[in-house]
Structure 1
Amino acid sequence: MTQIIEISTQYQLANVAALIRSGRLGGDGNLGEADRLGDDRQRRILVVANNSFAPELTPAADAMPGSRGLLADFDLVVDWNAAIWPNHPKAFGISGERAPIMERALRREWGIDDHEPLELIVESLPGHPAGALTQIFSTAAISVHSDGLMSYGPVRNPLTLPQWQRLRAIFYTDLLPGITPRQLAEHTPDRVVLPTADLADVIDAMTAEVADDLATAGLDSPIDDSALVLGQYLAQLDLITAEEELELHLQMIDEVKDAGLSTVIFKPHPTSARTTIGPLRRRCEEFGLEFVLADVPLLAEIVVAATRPELVVSCFSTGLATAKGLYGCQTAAVGTERLLAELAPYQNSNRIPLTIIDALHSGRYELPDAPAGTVARNLNGLIDAVTYCMQPGSAAHLRGSAIDFLRSAIGGPDMKYFKRKRLTALDLPGQLQPPMHRKTLSAAKRHLISRAKRTQRVLKDYGITVDASKLKRNG
């Protein structure tokens, strides 16, 4: 059996390495050299896709600092962009007629016997590049590995019949203890949980590997009385304007000041513009805060592991969940309520991460494993309701849960997680009420009245005046 494991980010690579080392992907985790040379061992091929807008200018996950040690867990590392060049991974699909030809070519290129069974472990389905690999290797069993908080919500498009018939398992990191990801739940796959301690071990190993890079940036040891501000790239996603994004980041600095800390460590998002750095530095100077720039091509989790901040601040970054879950940091979320109001369309895949982060920082929600005696609400009901409203087709099994939650939420602050028009279209509690003059009329009666008025307008064009009430009575 050969496992073909596809990733596109370094965070995914770290999660997959943790799954391997803990034995959750089969085999014996970390194998000695003698074991690795055995004939019965499981062979693993890592397929690295660079999904960035300009992959020629952005390093792939396997080329980033901290990845070298993780690559030793694989027998072969494949550059997917090179394999499908000049196509981009996000746009490359393949027809049913050509898929067998490409499968045979890739098997030969990657040293896989024509009849050897395969297991695909890919990122989010059904989009590409994961979707293309399931098309090419059309008989391989399929599993999905998680990508942070997005795995707790639904996929945007339904799987094809050949995909869901071969779906076996979902591997996910336990960032929200007591919460089961809703991703592909309609197909009842096996759920394999990766404890955060196993991922922390991998992050610590990556941190040790990049010690020189951290030292050069002044990030190689804990920074006392500090807060890490994680920049986001919401303007590039057209979620807000560049001016609004700058204001959002300035509010994060305000949050640090209000927390009474003395140092801001600012880590810009790798793909964001660097135009916010100057204004943030000046805001820190105004407040008398020390400003440390962590503009390094490293995972946010590596910076947290090295500097051990007391507080991590962002908008709805998965880094908030990993900082708390892996290293016990306090966290703060800024600007989530405004984004909840503006995020469109409702089924935008960022909605579940945004909802989770806002809810957990609102003071009204706790995870199911919260200490006894807490009065906050369980987060599961909210996730069920939002998931159903996002994808009522694939999440039809959650309709009852959504109705129960919405009935209890009407008139309260939790209605900010929903759109009234969406609730109306789905006939859910909290929907818009029809005008008073329409409440007593059935749909059939309203149709007859509308048809009568149209007929009256047509006759009027010919100079004929007819009493509309007669049209209504005569149909």
Structure 2
Amino acid sequence: MTQIIEISTQYQLANLSALIRAGRLGEPQRRRILVVANNSVSPELTPAADAMPGSAGLLSDFDLVVDWNATIWPNHPKAFGISGERAPIMERALRREWDIAEAEPLELIVESLPSHPAGALTQIFATADISVHSDGLMSYGPIRNPLTLPQWQRLRAICYTDLLPGITPRQLAEHGPERVVLPAADLAKVIDDMTAEVADDLASANLDAPIESSALVLGQYLAQLDLITAEEELDLHLQMLDVVKDAGLSTVVFKPHPTSARTTIGPLRRRSEELGLDFVLADVPLLAEIVVSATRPELVVSCFSTGLATAKGLYGCATAAVGTTELLAALAPYQNSNRIPLTIIDALHSGRYALPGTLAEAGAGSGAPAGPGAPRDLNPLIDAVTYCMQSKSASYLRQKAIDFLDGAVGGPDMKYFKRKRLTALDLPGRLEMPRHRKTLSAAKQRLISQAKRTQHVLKDYGITVDTSKLRKNG
């Protein structure tokens, strides 16, 4: 059986190589084809995952590397789908191009379903078994749109790196797939190999050795996602510097997000000087995990980046989250796929759930440990948020959500929920209905509204509708 493995980011490539090297994807002699999709808005201007520094050594884990953008040109990977009539024709063409026998069984290992490019590959290879590989903290939450019947009938497994021991990703859990778990230490070995490969790039940026008394600040592109304004994002990054100062460290290593604007660098450099902190710019096209592996910071600071979880899970760094409370209040709609990563990072840096080595969120006051005692189990909170995000696909979690919310109403955990959402789902914590509306079902309300709207028209024909009787008699 040949495996067709689709990725769109270098972080995914590192995870897949780690899975292969750890023997989690079957026997070593199995033929593996890597399909690389460049999903950036302007793929002509952005290097694909296999062309980024640090990827060359990973490509040896695959028998063939395919440029998906070139295969479907001039279409964009995120927009390219295929009709049922054309799919068999393209499958025959790709099997011939990729040297796959016509009758040979296939296994697809793809990123998030059902969106493209993963969705397109499942359409083309319509009889292949399907496995899904995770992409950081996103995998701990539900998918936005349900799978098609042919997709979930062929779904076999979910492959993920165990960044949060004791927590199982909820992605596609409603279909009961097999869980293929990669220990964080196996991914760390791959990241270390990538770090050695890019030693010259790191040296040219003065990032090739551990930096004493340093904190790595990971920028995010929240303004570009319209989650906050550019001014609010700058203020968020300035708060991160305050956390570094309060932690008693002397050096800030700032790594901007690859797709973010660079307008924050100047203000951050000036603020660092005001605080008496050395400022090191890590504006390099490298994974944040590679920078962590090379510089070994004592603290990693961000908002809700997956980099916080990987820095702690792979290298044991202390971490701090900034601005998560404000983003929880602002994030909309409730189904936004960033909600689970945001919830997890906020919870792990709050007193009730905090892990050892996490610092309280900035704005809470200081860089002291987030909370005393052993952390609480995070699974019930994730179950409840997952159900509120996708109540249809996650209907199996309804009773768990009710049980959690029964004990959470009036407490600090209610910041993870919206009252209107709880009301729509008839869950504890919902808004109370006005007394005069409590006895009427939604169907009755619609009937009364329709009758009122037609009253004026009916009067022209001498017909009167008494809505009070409708209300009285139900």
- What TM bracket, shorter-length normalisation? over 0.9
- CA–CA distance in 2 between the matches of 1:375 and 1:333? 19
Question: Partners of 1:283 and 1:188 in 2: how far apart?
Answer: 50
CA contact (8 A) 1:8 1:49 kept: yes
Q: CA RMSD in A?
A: 2.4
Quote the offset at 1:245 in angstroms.
Answer: 1.0
Code of the aligned partner of 2:376: R
Q: Does 1:7 align with 2:7?
A: yes
1:209-288 correspondence to structure 2 within 5 Å: 209-288=197-276
Residue 165 (structure 1) aligned with residue 153 (structure 2): yes
Change (3 A) 1:460 1:275: same
Identical columns (%): 85
Q: Aligned partners of 1:66, 1:118: CA distance in 2, in Å?
A: 29
1:408-419 equivalences under 5 Å are: 408-419=407-418
Contact kept, 8 Å, 1:367 with 1:379, in 2: the verdict is no
Q: Equivalent residue of 1:305, what SS?
A: helix
Residue in structure 1 matching 2:305, options 289, 295, 317? 317
Give the direction of change, closer, same or farther, for the CA distance of 1:25–1:204 in structure 2 (3 Å limit): same
- SS in structure 1 at match of 2:54: coil
- Aligned partner of 1:150 in structure 2 is 138
Count of residue correspondences: 460
SS in 1 for 2:248: coil
Whole-angstrom CA distance in 1 between matches of 2:48 and 2:334: 31
Structure 2 alignment gaps of length 5 or more: 359-371
Quote the residue 1:197 is aligned against: 185
Aligned to 1:365, the other structure's residue is in SS state coil
Give the letter aligned to residue 349 of structure 1: S
Shift of 1:439: 3.5
TM-superposed deviation, 1:451? 6.9
Cα distance change of structure 1 residues 94 and 199 upon mapping to structure 2, 3 Å threshold: same
8 A contact 1:6–1:49 mirrored in 2 = yes
For 1:452 and 1:78, locate their aligned partners in 2 and report how far apart those are by CA, in whole Å. 62
CA distance in 2, matches of 1:240, 1:365: 26
**Superposition pairs for residues 55-66 of structure 1, below 5 Å?**
55-66=43-54
CA contact (8 A) 1:176 1:367 kept: no
Alignment partner, residue 404 of structure 2: 405
2:366 maps to: none
Mapped pair 1:386 → 2:385:
yes
1:204 CA displacement:
0.4
The one of 94, 98, 112 aligned to 2:82: 94
Residue 368 of structure 2 corresponds to none
Change beyond 3 A, Cα 1:139–1:287: same
The alignment status of 1:346 with 2:330, answered yes or no, reads: no
Partners of 1:470 and 1:397 in 2: CA distance: 40
Summarize the alignment of residues 313-462 of structure 1 with structure 2, pairs less than 5 Å apart.
313-366=301-354, 374-439=373-438
1:134 and 1:470 map into 2 onto residues whose CA distance is 56
> Which consecutive residues of structure 1, in runs of 5 or more, have no partner in the other structure?
29-40
1:19 and 2:7 aligned:
no
> Using the alignment, how far apart are the partners of 2:262 and 2:100 within structure 1?
45
Spell out, residue by residue over 1:35-58, the C-alpha distance to the aligned partner (whole angstroms, 9 max, x if none): xxxxxx311100000000100000
Say yes or no: does 1:103 pair with 2:91: yes
Q: Kindly provide the CA deviation profile for residues 304-323 of structure 1, in whole angstroms up to 9, marking residues without a partner as x.
A: 00000000000000000000
* 1:257 to partner: Cα distance: 1.1
Match of 1:302 among 290, 295, 299: 290
**Aligned partners of 1:16 and 1:331: how far apart in 2?**
26
2:119 aligned with 1:139:
no
Q: Which amino acid aligns with 1:9?
A: T
Measured after TM superposition, the shift of residue 472 of structure 1 is 6.4
TM-score with structure 2 setting the length: 0.92
Counterpart AA for 2:233? E
Instruction: Give the equivalent residue in structure 2 for 1:32.
Output: none
Find the aligned partners of 2:341 and 2:31 in 1 and give their Cα distance. 34
TM-fit CA distance, 1:258: 1.3
Which contiguous aligned blocks of 4+ residues in structure 1 show a shift greater than 3 angstroms? 373-376, 439-475
Tell whether 2:61 aligns with 1:73.
yes
DSSP 3-state at the match of 1:6: strand
